[in-house]
Amino acid sequence: MCPLPDKIVMASGNVGKLREIARIFNALNIIVVPQSDFGISAVEENGATFAENAEIKARHAAGVTGLPAIADDSGLAVDALGGRPGVYSARYSGPDADDQSNIDKLLHELDDVPDDERGAAFHCTACFVMPNDADALLAAGEWRGIILRERRGDRGFGYDPVFFDVDIGLSAAQLTTADKNARSHRGKALQELARQLSSA
């Protein structure tokens, strides 16, 4: 792996993700810029795992820009649904899915599930690649919780309003960015990726 880069392109246009990722990598004096700044559109995520999708996105962004790239793929695995929505979390409610429709579908499917059987985990795999480098750095993180019956909080994105961290008694959407990074699947994966980069 090459020396620590000054700038990394993030293979996502998600503002929430950019905020979380930039906060972690700014500590390494690395500027994180979204791929939308380069006019890059999303690539098809046809991998079977979070790791495969993360690498697909990172290699696409690095190939187009010629810059080091970082990507993550994450999703919610609900115990009572056999691990769904999993890698399909972002498009769970169909091709025109958004956060609200995905949450609506999830809550509907869990309507008859008792409170003590609503366990779930957010999973994330983060990937860093250099242009034209066959090697990729990968790091994974998990965040356990339960699925609420209604939304709580107005921060975050995705399934955050219905994901409840039992240990602290708050939903993911009630946490500040700093507190979320300290506990979340994405925060754990990115912190580990940052550690790997700084020690490479």
Q: Which residues are catalytic?
A: 73
Q: How far apart are CA 122 and CA 159, in angstroms?
A: 9
DSSP β-bridge partners for residue 121: 77, 144
Q: How far from chain centre, in Å, is Cα 170?
A: 19
